Structure formats: C-alpha cells, structure tokens
Amino acid sequence: MNENMTPTIAEAGMNEALKQARIAGSVGEVPIGAVVMHQGKIVGRGYNLREHAQDATLHAEIMAISEANHTLNTWRLEDCQLFVTIEPCPMCSGAIINARIPEVYFGARDPKAGTVRSLYQLLEDPRFNHRVIVHEGLMADQASTLMQNFFRAIRRGRGAKKPGSQRTK
C-alpha cells in the first residue's frame, strides 16, 4: 500500500466497487464493479455493460479507466489506484498496464479468466514496460458471494435474463 492509501481509503474504494457490481447484477449483467481513485477520491466508476450494449469491451475496469482518463484529462493514471471486485481478465490487465496504473486491489480470483494471479501474472510480468503492485483479497468474500448468487439465480431460472441472450435462428 502506498503511503497515501490507508486501510480506510482502500475499504472505501472497494465498497464503491462492490456498489457498482450490485448495479451490474441488478440489470442482469455479471456483477463486477470497479473504481479508480486519485489522491483518495474516486475519479472513475464502472460496471459490466457488455450484455446491454452488446459490446465485448464494456467491462467494469475499462469503464472506470475511461472515466478516470476523462476526469483527469490524461491517459496516464500514474498516481491512481484501481479497485475491482473480481480479478481482471487479459483485456483489462492490458488496459491497466497501458494506463500506467501503479496499484490494483481486487477482491476474488477468477479461475477461468483471471490474469493477475489465476492463469497468468500479467500485471507483474517484468517483460512489460510497466509493472503493477497487486493487492489481492480485499473484501473477497463479498465479491465472491455476489458472483455466486448471481450465477445461482441464473441456473435456477430466477435471475434477470440477460439482454441478447436468446438466440434466433
């Protein structure tokens, strides 16, 4: 944790990411949320919207990074931290590296698509021109529970139907 990031600020960041994840879940999206903080203040928020927009790039992290870029008027987020409920995928890990975010806090691992700890360790790979300090497990139980409940409800047929999920021939 950098000297400006207190446990209270880190918890506030992850609480807001969890709030964003709940919004995603409430509209039938996979409940993943993210926020970008700069000097202890939130400058970017995001939650998954790929089903609603039918856009594969609309992941929580991408949305939060994009909003932070616009808020701070720079593509370099060198003095920021990203908080995300679930371990980032390859696309989001690439965006984190390209945005030069120095620290990432994530809740639960994603054993099927995670590229921070589970499948790869992209954010700390020395072959890239930027490496990220990773903090794993912040509010992991809450993040994991959101995901489990969402997919359990879908399997039981009581979950919100995802837009575009019904295929036509």
Other CB atoms within 10 A of residue 14 CB: 24
Query: Which residues partner with 106 through β-bridges?
Result: 84, 136
Q: Which CATH architecture has domain 9-132+141-147?
A: 3-Layer(aba) Sandwich (3.40)
* pLDDT at residue 7 in the model: 85
Evaluate if residue 168 carries a pLDDT over 50: no
* pLDDT at residue 2 in the model: 66
Domain spans of the chain, in order of start: 9-132+141-147
* pLDDT at residue 20 in the model: 98
Crossing angle for the helix pair 7-26 and 60-72, nearest 10 degrees?
Answer: 120
Q: Which residue has the higher pLDDT, 164 or 167?
A: 164
pLDDT band at 158 (very low <50, low <70, confident <90, very high): low
89 has binding-site annotation: yes
pLDDT band at 167 (very low <50, low <70, confident <90, very high): very low
In tens, the pLDDT along 13-44 reads 999 999 999 999 999 999 999 999 999 999 99
Catalogue the active-site residues: 61
Cα–Cα distance for residue pair 133/34, rounded to 1 Å: 17
* pLDDT at residue 1 in the model: 60
Edge to edge, the sheet with strand 33-38 lists 41-47, 33-38, 80-86, 103-108, 133-136
In tens, the pLDDT along 69-121 reads 999 999 999 999 999 999 999 999 999 999 999 999 999 999 999 999 999 99
DSSP 8-class letter at 117 = T
80 has binding-site annotation: no
